[in-house]
Amino acid sequence: MSELILLDRRWIARDAERSSTARFMLWLFPWVVLFVFGIYAAGLCFYYGLNQTNMDNRFAFGMWIYLDLAMIAMGAGAFFTGFLVYILKQTELKPILNSAVVLGLICYSGAVAVLMVDVGQPLRAWFTFWHPNTHSMLTEVTFCISCYLLVLILEYIPVLLRNRQLRKVPSFLVFELQLHKLVPVLAAVGTFLSFFHQGSLGGLYGVLRGRPFAFREGFAIWPSTFFLFILSAIAVGPSFLMLVTAAAETVTGRQLIQNAVFRKLGFISGVLLGLYVGAKAIDTLIWLNFTSPAVGFAPWDFYAYKPFGSALLFVEIVPLGLLPAVVLTLPMMAKKRSWLLFGATLACGGVLLNRFLLTVQTLALPTLAFDDFLQYIPSWQEVATFGGVIAYGVILYSLSYRYLPLFGQSKGEDSNVSMG
Partner 1 sequence: MSARYGIVIDLDRCTGCGACMIACAAENNVPPAREQATSRTGLTPMLVHKISNGLKGAAEREAFIPVTCMQCGKETPCVSVCPQQAVEVDETTGIVMQMPQRCLGCRYCMAACPYHARYFNWWDPSWPAGMEKSLNPGVSVRMRGVVEKCNLCHARLHSAKEKAAAAGKKEINSADCIPACAEACPTGAILFGNLADENDPVSRAAQSPDAFRLLARLGTEPKVYYKSGQAWVRAMGERNSSPAPEVAHV
Residues lying near partner 1 in the complex (CB under 8 A):
49-51, 55-61, 118-121, 124-125, 127-128, 130-133, 135-139, 142, 204, 207-212, 294-298, 300-301, 362-363, 366-374
Q: Identify whether 95 is preceded by a cis peptide bond (ω within 30 of 0).
A: no
User: What are the DSSP E strand ranges found in 114-232?
Assistant: 218-219, 222-223
- Least Å distance, CB 111 to partner 1, is 14
As a dihedral over the C-alpha atoms of residue 152, residue 153, residue 157, residue 160, rounded to 10 degrees, the angle is: 90
Q: Cα 363 to the chain's mean position, in Å?
A: 22
**With respect to partner 1, which residue has the nearer C-beta, 339 or 380?**
380
Contact 405, 14 (CB under 8 A): no
- Least Å distance, CB 131 to partner 1, is 5
Q: Strand pairing partners for 305?
A: none
Contact 216, 223 (CB under 8 A): yes
- Least Å distance, CB 367 to partner 1, is 4
**With respect to partner 1, which residue has the nearer C-beta, 91 or 375?**
375
**With respect to partner 1, which residue has the nearer C-beta, 99 or 292?**
292
Spatial CA neighbour of 41 closest among 24, 71, 73, 63: 63
Spatial CA neighbour of 235 closest among 357, 329, 302: 329
- Least Å distance, CB 68 to partner 1, is 12
**With respect to partner 1, which residue has the nearer C-beta, 29 or 46?**
46
- Least Å distance, CB 124 to partner 1, is 5
- Residues, the chain, total? 420
- Least Å distance, CB 288 to partner 1, is 14
- Least Å distance, CB 69 to partner 1, is 13
Integer Cα distance of 132 and 191 in angstroms: 23
**With respect to partner 1, which residue has the nearer C-beta, 51 or 165?**
51
Integer Cα distance of 249 and 241 in angstroms: 12
**With respect to partner 1, which residue has the nearer C-beta, 30 or 122?**
122
Which DSSP letter does residue 50 get?
G
**With respect to partner 1, which residue has the nearer C-beta, 49 or 184?**
49
**With respect to partner 1, which residue has the nearer C-beta, 332 or 369?**
369
| Interacting residues of 156 by C-beta distance below 8 A, sequence separation 6+ | 101, 102, 105
Question: How many other CB atoms sit within 10 Å of the CB of residue 29?
Answer: 10
Packed helices 170-206 and 137-160: angle between N→C axes, nearest 10 degrees: 160
**With respect to partner 1, which residue has the nearer C-beta, 298 or 311?**
298
- Least Å distance, CB 220 to partner 1, is 15
Integer Cα distance of 35 and 335 in angstroms: 38
Residue 369: CA count within 13 A, CB half-sphere:
1
Contact 205, 214 (CB under 8 A): yes
**With respect to partner 1, which residue has the nearer C-beta, 207 or 246?**
207
Coil/strand/helix, residue 307: coil
- Least Å distance, CB 43 to partner 1, is 15
Spatial CA neighbour of 50 closest among 33, 63, 69, 37: 63
Phi-psi region of 258 (alpha: psi -120 to 50; beta: other; left: phi over 0): beta
- Least Å distance, CB 359 to partner 1, is 9
